Amino acid sequence: MSAWIIPAAAGVALLALIIALAWAISANMREGLLFRSGLARRLEELRLQRLMALLGLDPNRYLHAARIVDVERHMRTCKECEETARCDDALDKETPDALAGRCANYRELDIVRRAVKDS
């Protein structure tokens, strides 16, 4: 009679583990989406998003393709940049290539754009 107790307990424990793992994965995905949506809102405030648009790089694909540490570095670099007048001029004239030698983020964004395009 007690021969079925151990396998039943193991089955219940396995089921509990599966449920806990599914819940943890789901919570992690929700947190990641919230974090990325916060990054997207911060990105909207920067010239970086206008440069991405001119390069043909979708900001959402960028946020999913680039490492978070790189995204935050790009945003910080853009926010702290002192070339805002030249940047605005090039962005207004829709000539992102004029920024190639001046924008600290241009080269890396172009690499991400090509990687996203090829995937």
- Directed axis angle between helix 68-80 and helix 106-118, to 10°? 140
- Structure confidence at residue 117 (pLDDT): 79
pLDDT, residue 1, reads 53
**Is the pTM for the entire model greater than 0.85?**
no
Q: 115 pLDDT band (50/70/90 cuts)?
A: confident
Task: Provide the pLDDT for residue 4.
Answer: 81
What's the number of CA atoms in the CB half-sphere (13 Å) around residue 106?
A: 15
Q: What is the mean pLDDT of the chain?
A: 90
> Nearest-CA neighbor of 82 among 100, 104, 97?
104
Whole-number percent of the chain with pLDDT over 70: 98
The per-residue pLDDT for 45 is: 93
Residue type, 24: A
d(CA 50, CA 52): 5
